[in-house]
Chain A
Amino acid sequence: MNFSAITPAVEADGLVKMFGGQRAVDGVSLTVPTGSVYGVLGPNGAGKTTTIRMLATLLRPDGGSARIFGHDVMSEPTAVRSLVGVTGQYASVDEDLTATENLVIFSRLLGLSRAAAKRKAAELLEEFALTEAANKPLKNFSGGMRRRLDLAASLIAAPPLLFLDEPTTGLDPRTRAQMWVTIRRLVREGSTVLLTTQYLDEADQLADRIAVIDRGRVIADGTADELKASVGTSSLQLTLVDRARIGDAQQVLAQYLDVEVTVSPEAARLTAPLTDPSVTPEILIRLRDDGIGVDELTVSKPSLDEVFLTITGHVAEDDAERNVA
C-alpha cells in the first residue's frame, strides 16, 4: 500500500502552545494515517489535551502548523470542524438539558431537520444504552453515562476523524471496557481515531501506533510492540533490605540483564527492564550468594512509568509536581 499517495487524517508539524511563559506544547509533530487508530500516551500535563485542542481548532497554535485531511487548522477552521468530532476529557454536554434535548440540539446545529434530529437522537441513545435516561436531566447522570452521551454527540455527523481525549479516565473498569468496545466498533466502521490516554494498556489495546509525549514533546513513536520492546516486555523491581548494598545489587542486575538499571537510592529500590523473566531466579540466587538481602521483588508488565523511565530517564510527573520543581 502506498500511503504517501493518501492525504493523512492528521499532519501536525512542530505545534507550539505557550501558557504564561511555559511551553505546554513544545514542537509536537504527528502524522496519523487515514483509517488508523493513533494513541497519544503521556502523563497529566504532558500537553495531550492542548495538542488535541489545537488540532480541533479550539486553541490557536503559537507556532507550527497542522492539517486535517489537508485542511489547515488556522486558515480553514470551518472545513476542519466539519471533519472532526471531539470528545473531551470533561464531557462537553449541556448539564441543564436532558439527553434527548442535547442530541437534538447538536443534530439541528449540524443541519438535520427537526424530524431527522429526533430520529438520530433516539437512534444514538439506543446505541449507547441511554434510552431509559433519555428524558432525565443530565444532573442525575453518572460519569459513565455522561461520557457515553458525549461520545454519542460526537458521532451525530459521522465525522471521518474522531478525537477522543482520555475517553476512559475516571471511569470504573466495567464502563471502561464498554467504552473500548464502542471505540473498536467505530474503528471497524472506518473512522480514523486519535485518542489520548495515560494508560499504556489502553493505547496497547486500541491503537495501531502510539506517540509518547512528555513535557510538550513527542519522545517516542511507534507501534505498541515497538514501544514495549524498547522497555523490555516486563520490568523487574527490587527493594533491598540494606540500602548500602545498592551498588552491589546494581552490578549483579546489570551483569545478568545487560541493560541499564535505574536506581532510587532513597527507597533502596532498583528497576530494570526484563526481556526474559525466567532469568529472575538466577538473579535471586546470585543475590543470596552475595549476601544481599531482598525485601521485595516484583516482576510486572511495562507500565507507562517504565516506558517513561526507559525513554526519558526520568519518572513521569504530574503537572503539579512540575510546577513545584
Chain B
Amino acid sequence: MTTTLEAPTRTGTPPAAVERIGVGQAVRNSLTMAYRGVLKIKHNPEQLFDVTLQPILFTVMFTYIFGGAISGDVQSYLPVIIPGILVQTVIVTSIVTGTQLREDMDKGVFDRFKSLPIARIAPLAGALTADMVRYGIATVLTFVMGYLMGYRPGGGFLGVVGAGLLVIGCSFAVSWIFALMGVLMSKASAVQGVSMLILFPLTFMSSAFVPVDTMPGWMQAFVNVNPISHLVNAARDLANYGTVGSHFVWSIVGAVAIVAIFAPLTVRMYMRKA
C-alpha cells in the first residue's frame, strides 16, 4: 500500500462533536419538552377531567359540609376554606405528574430523548413544567367556584393572582417528589397509591380546613411545622389581605429546597434507569 500520502477525503477527520451542554441550552430544551407536554394535553383533553371536576366538587362539598360547624356560616368560612382547598386540590393534582411521567417513560419516544444531545433534565423538567397548565386550570376553577359561592377576597385581584402563582409554583416543586417516585416505581398505579398515602395526612393535618387551636397539642406541633400549613397561610395572607409574611418566605424556602434536593436526585435515577 503506497497510498498513505493521499489525504483522506471527507472520511479523514472525525466529525465535530458537541462536548458540553450549557445552562441556556438546558432551559431551551426543557421549554421545548414543556411545549411537547402542552401539545399532549391539547390532543388528549380528557386528561383534564380531574383538574376540572375536582376543584368544583371539593370546593362545593367541603364549604357546605364544614362551613356551618367551623365558622358559624358558609359566608365567613369562605376566606378560610378557599385558600385551603386551593392548596389541597393543586398539590394533589401534582401526583398525576408522577403517574403520567411513569406511563410516558415506558414509551419508545423516551429512547429518542435519551439518544439526543440534549440536557438530561429536559424531558423531566419539561413534563413537570407543562403540568403547571393543569395547576393553573385547577387554581382558576377553585377561585371561580369560591366567587360564585360568595367569596370576595380582601386582597383584591392582585392578591388572588399572587396566591394562585405561589400555589402553582410550590406544586411544581412538590411534583419533583412524585416525579422521583414515577422514575423509581415500575407501575403508575403504585405511584398513585403511595403518593396519596403521603399527601392525605399532609394536607388534612394542616391549617387548610379547620383552625389549628381546636386540635390536640401533639397534632398542633406537627401542623405548625407542616409545610402545607405555611403554604395555606401564605395563600390566605395574599388572597384575603394582599400581604406577604413569614409564611410566604417559608413556602418559597421549602419549594426551593425540594427542587434543589429532588430535581438532581430524580435526574440521576432517571439516567440510571436508562
Do A90 and B21 touch (CB < 8 A)?
no
For residue A201, CB closer than 8 A to chain B, the reply is no
Produce 1/0 per residue, A88-120, CB < 8 A to B.
101111111100010001101111000000000
Chain B residues near A79 (CB-CB < 8 A): 17-19
Chain B residues near A56 (CB-CB < 8 A): 115
For residue A5, CB closer than 8 A to chain B, the reply is yes
Produce 1/0 per residue, B92-118, CB < 8 A to A.
000000000000000111111111111
Do A101 and B112 touch (CB < 8 A)?
no
A110 to chain B, nearest CB (A): 7
Known pairs A57-B114, A96-B43, A160-B15 / 10 extra A-B pairs, C-beta < 8 Å: A1-B6, A57-B115, A86-B111, A92-B109, A92-B110, A92-B112, A94-B36, A97-B39, A109-B33, A109-B118
From 1 to 38 in chain B, residues with beta carbon under 8 angstroms from any chain A beta carbon are 1, 3-4, 6, 8, 10-12, 14-15, 17-21, 25, 28-29, 32-33, 35-36
For residue A7, CB closer than 8 A to chain B, the reply is yes
Do A108 and B32 touch (CB < 8 A)?
yes
A/B pair count, beta carbons within 8 Å: 116
Produce 1/0 per residue, A43-69, CB < 8 A to B.
000000000000011111000000001
Bound form: Cα–Cα A69–B17 in Å: 9
Pick 8 A–B contacts, CB within 8 A, sort by A. Answer: A58-B111, A58-B115, A88-B108, A88-B112, A95-B107, A96-B44, A106-B112, A153-B112
From 29 to 61 in chain B, residues with beta carbon under 8 angstroms from any chain A beta carbon are 29, 32-33, 35-36, 39-40, 43-44
Bound form: Cα–Cα A85–B168 in Å: 37
5 smallest CB-CB distances across A and B, nearest first, come from A82-B18, A79-B17, A82-B117, A92-B112, A92-B108
For residue A301, CB closer than 8 A to chain B, the reply is no
Q: A97-B36, A109-B29, A137-B43 are in contact. Are A6 and B111 (CB under 8 A)?
A: no
Bound form: Cα–Cα A153–B12 in Å: 27
Chain B residues near A105 (CB-CB < 8 A): 32-33, 35-36, 39
Write the residues of chain A forming the contact surface with B, with a CB cutoff of 8 angstroms: 1-2, 5-7, 34-35, 56-60, 69-71, 76, 78-86, 88, 90-97, 101, 105-106, 108-111, 137, 153, 160, 190
Chain A residues near B274 (CB-CB < 8 A): 58-60
Interface of A is mostly: loop
For residue B122, CB closer than 8 A to chain A, the reply is yes
Do B15 and A69 touch (CB < 8 A)?
yes
A152 to chain B, nearest CB (A): 12
Chain B residues near A109 (CB-CB < 8 A): 29, 32-33, 113, 116, 118, 122
**Among B1, B25, B108, contact of A93 (Cβ-Cβ < 8 Å):** B108
Chain B residues near A85 (CB-CB < 8 A): 115
Chain B residues near A78 (CB-CB < 8 A): 17-21, 117
Do B39 and A101 touch (CB < 8 A)?
yes
**Among A5, A70, A81, A96, contact of B115 (Cβ-Cβ < 8 Å):** A81
Produce 1/0 per residue, B106-146, CB < 8 A to A.
01111111111110001000000000000000000000000
A53 to chain B, nearest CB (A): 8
Looking across the interface, which residue of chain B has its beta carbon closest to that of A57? B115
Bound form: Cα–Cα A34–B114 in Å: 24
Chain A residues near B10 (CB-CB < 8 A): 35, 190
Bound form: Cα–Cα A294–B15 in Å: 59
Bound form: Cα–Cα A109–B32 in Å: 7
Bound form: Cα–Cα A279–B274 in Å: 55
Chain A residues near B29 (CB-CB < 8 A): 109
Looking across the interface, which residue of chain A has its beta carbon closest to that of B17? A79
**Among B1, B28, B33, B36, contact of A2 (Cβ-Cβ < 8 Å):** B1
Do A6 and B122 touch (CB < 8 A)?
no
Bound form: Cα–Cα A83–B16 in Å: 8
Chain B residues near A81 (CB-CB < 8 A): 18, 115-118
Chain A residues near B6 (CB-CB < 8 A): 1
Looking across the interface, which residue of chain B has its beta carbon closest to that of A161? B15
Do A34 and B11 touch (CB < 8 A)?
yes
Looking across the interface, which residue of chain B has its beta carbon closest to that of A85? B115
**Among B4, B36, B109, contact of A5 (Cβ-Cβ < 8 Å):** B4
From 244 to 263 in chain B, residues with beta carbon under 8 angstroms from any chain A beta carbon are none
Bound form: Cα–Cα A149–B60 in Å: 48
Do B17 and A97 touch (CB < 8 A)?
no
Chain A residues near B11 (CB-CB < 8 A): 6, 34-35
Bound form: Cα–Cα A85–B107 in Å: 18
Looking across the interface, which residue of chain B has its beta carbon closest to that of A139? B43
Looking across the interface, which residue of chain A has its beta carbon closest to that of B21? A78
A191 to chain B, nearest CB (A): 11
Chain B residues near A60 (CB-CB < 8 A): 274
B110 to chain A, nearest CB (A): 8
Looking across the interface, which residue of chain A has its beta carbon closest to that of B116? A109
Bound form: Cα–Cα A83–B14 in Å: 10
Q: A59-B274, A101-B39, A190-B10 are in contact. Are A94 and B17 (CB under 8 A)?
A: no
**Among B8, B28, B113, B115, contact of A6 (Cβ-Cβ < 8 Å):** B8
Chain B residues near A88 (CB-CB < 8 A): 108, 111-112
